[in-house]
Amino acid sequence: MSSKTHRKGCNCSFFCFNTYPIVVKLIVVILSLLMVGCYNKVSAPEPAPEVITTNATIAQLKRICSSGVITFTPNLPVVITGTVISSDKESYINGAIYIDDGTATAKLLVGIYDSFSIYPEGSQISISMTGLTAGIEDHQLSIGLVYENSKTLYAIKSSVILDKHITCKNSINKIEPQVCSISDIDTDLCGKLITINSLNYVYTCYEENYRGKYFRFCDTEENFIYVYIDQYAAGFKNVPPQEPSDITGIVTYQKVPFDTKECFVILPRGSKDIWN
């Protein structure tokens, strides 16, 4: 009879897991699970970064939105690209940036205070419209968010959402405002960056509760235009220029206090666009 004996019910001749203490069994099981976890972690491929490809011009997007406010879904993937022509560095435009791709312009309602450092003037940005809403306001294309069934556009106000939708290139392009006279301006220029030379200051009118003020300027032919200065703008307390000035800024069309109709209004990018 062999001197080797086996526990009843065990058929292994070299290793029998059942013969080990419970602590050893637990260690073996834990090590096995860790090895499986490490294997899965190493073998799982990293997701490929999403490539944003421009597939529409701003003018095309503006035509799409001509019939009303549109919220873009994955079924309507639109990407536009343009150069930042105003980034609200001195709070003259109050939380918005303007981009131009040569076909038209768009106003992006970013709603963050440091937009000028993230999207500096002259930089090129691409905007993926999926999840964003666009519409025509005061003759210009605006991009932002809507809440529930509202048709009113609101500022995005979230760096997380902005990073998800916007890609900004590092290169900076030189911006050249379009030089024109007051008589040249029409609603097709809304959102464009322009310069009007040799304008004379006339008077100032204020918004309700002094939230902002409008400088009225005129040219030698008595054509007039307003320049809006927001209450938070760096030059809000500055005295209006007393000498003929070259005025640069974004063209808008809006209601002005004490005027009976909507008027063209220039939104300067900074103090240098007025006091030059």
Phi/psi for 66 (5° steps) reads -65, -25
Contact predicate 134/69, CB 8 Å = yes
Q: How far apart are CA 120 and CA 86, in angstroms?
A: 8
Q: What is the pLDDT of residues 215-231, one digit of tens each?
A: 999 999 999 999 999 99
- CATH number for the segment(s) 58-172: 2.40.50
Length of the chain: 276
Averaged pLDDT, 35-63:
64
What's the pTM?
A: 0.79
Count Cβ atoms within 10 A of the Cβ of residue 147 and give its class: 0-12 exposed, 13-18 middle, 19 or more buried.
exposed
pLDDT at 33: 52
Averaged pLDDT, 149-161:
90
212-218 and 224-230 strand pairing: antiparallel
Residue 11 scores a pLDDT above 90: no
Residue 63 scores a pLDDT above 80: yes
Residues 178-273, CATH architecture: Beta Barrel (2.40)
Domains of the chain by residue range: 58-172, 178-273
Phi/psi for 26 (5° steps) reads -65, -40
Does this chain's domain 58-172 share its CATH topology with 178-273? yes
Q: How far apart are CA 88 and CA 85, in angstroms?
A: 10
Task: Give the containing element (helix H, strand E) for 30.
Answer: helix 22-43
pLDDT at 266: 97
Q: What are the residues facing 254 on neighbouring strands?
A: 263
pLDDT at 49: 43
